[in-house]
Chains A and B, each alone.
Chain A
Amino acid sequence: MECFLEIKELCKSFVSNGRYITVLDKISFNLHENDFLCVLGPSGCGKSTLLRCIAGYEKINSGKIILEGNELTKPGTDRMMVFQDFNQLFPWLTVEKNIDYPLKINYPKLSKIQRKELTSYYLELVNLDNFKDFYPHQLSGGMKQRVVIVRALSLHPKLLLMDEPFGSLDALTRYKLQKELLKIYEHTGVTIIFVTHNIDEAIILSSKIVVLSQHPAKIIDIITNDIEQPRLPGTPQYGELWNRLNLLMGLDKSIEESAALTREEVI
């Protein structure tokens, strides 16, 4: 059976100070439609680079990224990206126009009224219909990210790529937005790749987890996460998975050891 998304032996390196630094080392995995994949790894390990390669922002050195049989090389509306940065809405457009504008570009046949209906449908999905005439700078960080998510969804992407979208939010808002994202995921059935360094976030959201190592990033493990929703930290399965992921990420290495590692990086 043909896979929905296939990543084959993907390698990516950067040139820095005249030498090659390998960031991604032979990354391979497959994804089915309607999967919710969390890419978990320590900060700076190259998770974002992996996502940017899939989005088409970075040229890959070798390997293949194949979506529904087509090899991907440049950005497109079939893969919509959601960044961590709160300022990814266009500040000169109102919330409504921020969603309307991409629709206008990509679906020129839609009438103004049809676009208006679609826009309010998506804003209602994240309970922001009352804020449609606001400018982005008048919204909170969490509200902005919700608008960005529905702006991405409105173009019906095959893949929703999320680069630590809730990383700069406070714990409470983050929790709320995770719930909201799960609701949207169930509602639309969109396939998601979600990058995070937060173990809890990965457990709560994912149907599949890819764990990456550091320098260069290699896949340590691919885990299917089939804990029943709602996933509560108190349950044994949750704890079991948490311990497993924690061990894989090597977070409990002694401080001396990681300090030595950091020194090595500097040298």
Chain B
Amino acid sequence: MVNKRLKLNRTIFIVMLLAIWEITAHSHIFPELLFPSLESILSALIHELEKGTIVLQTYNSIEMILEGMIIGDILAIIISVWAMISRRINEYVTTLVSIMDPLPGIALLPLAILWFGTGRNSIIFIIIHSVLWPMILNTVTGFKTIPKIYLEVGSNIGLKKIKIITNIMIPSALPSLLTGLQVGWSRAWRALISAEMIFGATGKESGLGWYIFEKRFMLDMPGVFAGLFIIVAIGFIVETVLFEIIEESTIKKWGMTN
């Protein structure tokens, strides 16, 4: 009930924003070239979708981010498990995280270009960097706060080390793991778009960031906004729809949220 009302409020608010936009655009306070109306943005979006390049570029961006996230998150879990072995390794890992975590992915781009060239590999590198550290931070916290009783019950019912990790530690730490995934996703998404805007002109492999850059270059403002719209839409769907579904079917269902 409350949820429904919240959703309604949100919709009304978005409609209001769009209305303000439309009124501003039609009042011609700003030149139309810089502040296009909603219908020209929409028609640009439809046109681009029909042409298909933007679909391909969105696909490229999503593919890169998925690849980077899968590698980064698996790596993070392995490192976190390793950090649980001894206090000293844990100390090394947490120190490394506190050094690397504040470093924005995009700041590493010049380095990445030198190491991997101006291609896909550099972007994947930046995504892995964006995902890895917050994921380790959250996974280690999650592992450390596992109730001891689950581990004791686990060893009592005859589980061996690997099974304890996969079937007890990971589900127990799931709330923290999901937080890590979420933080990693939003950082990686930003880093990806930024990196693509700096380079990414590698023909078929270019992504959404490059699309916007290109449209700006050609002063196609409705096109720029169409690109922004897709970025916002994907971010919104992943953060509020996808993660919500994952939480509803796991930690919320299991009563593991505070």
Chain A interface residues (CB < 8 Å from chain B): 55, 57, 75-77, 79-81, 83, 85, 87-88, 90-92, 101-102, 105-106, 135-138, 155
Bound form: Cα–Cα A102–B168 in Å:
12
Flag if B171 contacts A92 (CB, 8 Å): yes
A/B interface sample: 11 pairs, CB < 8 A: A80-B157, A83-B149, A85-B147, A87-B147, A90-B153, A92-B250, A101-B157, A102-B157, A105-B158, A106-B158, A155-B157
Bound form: Cα–Cα A77–B156 in Å:
6
Chain A residues within 8 Å of B172, by CB: 92
A-B residue pair count with CB separations less than 8 angstroms = 58
Chain B residues within 8 Å of A80, by CB: 156-157
Interface size on B, residues (CB 8 A): 21
Would you give the shortest CB distance from B159 to chain A, in whole angstroms? 6
| Residue from A75, A88, A91, A155 in contact with B254 in the complex, judged by beta carbons closer than 8 Å | A91
Bound form: Cα–Cα A55–B152 in Å:
10
Q: Does B116 contact A (CB under 8 A)?
A: no
Q: Does B7 contact A (CB under 8 A)?
A: no
Tell me the residues in window 147-183 of chain B with beta carbons closer than 8 Å to chain A beta carbons: 147, 149-150, 152-153, 155-159, 163, 167-168, 171-172, 174
Bound form: Cα–Cα A114–B150 in Å:
26
Flag if B254 contacts A87 (CB, 8 Å): no
Chain B residues within 8 Å of A76, by CB: 156, 158
**Closest residue of B by beta carbon distance from A57:** B152
Would you give the shortest CB distance from A265 to chain B, in whole angstroms? 25
**Closest residue of B by beta carbon distance from A79:** B156
Contact with A along B26-56 (1 / 0, CB 8 A): 0000000000000000000000000000000
Q: Does B102 contact A (CB under 8 A)?
A: no
**Closest residue of B by beta carbon distance from A161:** B156
Instruction: Specify which of A88, A90, A138 lies most central, judged by the most chain B CB atoms within 10 Å of its CB.
Output: A90
Chain A residues within 8 Å of B250, by CB: 92
Bound form: Cα–Cα A99–B253 in Å:
19
Bound form: Cα–Cα A87–B171 in Å:
14
Flag if B254 contacts A92 (CB, 8 Å): yes
Q: Does B256 contact A (CB under 8 A)?
A: yes
Would you give the shortest CB distance from A134 to chain B, in whole angstroms? 11
| Residue from B156, B171, B254 in contact with A135 in the complex, judged by beta carbons closer than 8 Å | B254
Bound form: Cα–Cα A83–B147 in Å:
13
Chain A residues within 8 Å of B253, by CB: 135
Instruction: Specify which of A55, A80, A105, A137 lies most central, judged by the most chain B CB atoms within 10 Å of its CB.
Output: A105
